[in-house]
Structure 1
Amino acid sequence: MLVEFSQGKIIVTTHEVVVKLAAPSQCMLHAQSEAISLFSGANVMVANTGAVKWTITLDNPQQLNILSEQLGCDIQ
């Protein structure tokens, strides 16, 4: 599943999430699906694997709902 947002693209599979940030940074963030948490209100996706943590703010609640459905995780 591909979700486009203002900062780039989010690629979601059953096992992994990859965030490709757009130019100029062109940074890629990877995380296993079970390391992802979703938070409403601020529309935030957080990857926390213990040693590594990153946060991405999404554009709208619809994107958060799509990720929730694809990952099978609840929105907190």
Structure 2
Amino acid sequence: MVIAFSAGKLIVSPFEIQARLDNGCLLYAMVDDIKFHDDALMLVADAGAVRWNIKLDSNEQLQEVKGELGIG
């Protein structure tokens, strides 16, 4: 599934999330390393030494990602 947001697009699969940003950066993380901060609309990847976060534009986008991953 592809979800467009203001900074680029998210590509969500059952195993991995890729964030392809408009500035040319590509971030990816395994689903097990992803956390969600609903109140801040943040998708946070934390794999120990490597960390990044993406602020989405709307709660609908966040819920779409969570739904694709089967997270209530």
Length-normalised TM-score, structure 2 = 0.94
Match of 1:35 in 2: 33
Kindly state the Cα deviation for residue 65 of structure 1 after the two structures are TM-superposed. 0.3
Q: After the TM superposition, which residues 1-76 of structure 1 pair with which residues of structure 2 at under 5 Å, given as runs?
A: 1-22=1-22, 25-74=23-72
Runs of 4+ in 1 over 3 A off after TM superposition: none
Query: Aligned partners of 1:2, 1:63: CA distance in 2, in Å?
Result: 10
Provide the aligned length of Structure 1 versus Structure 2. 72
Give the unaligned 5+ runs of structure 2. Answer: none
Q: Percent identity?
A: 38
Report the aligned-residue RMSD. 0.9
Runs of 5+ unmatched residues, structure 1: none
Taking structure 1 as the reference length, the TM-score comes to 0.89
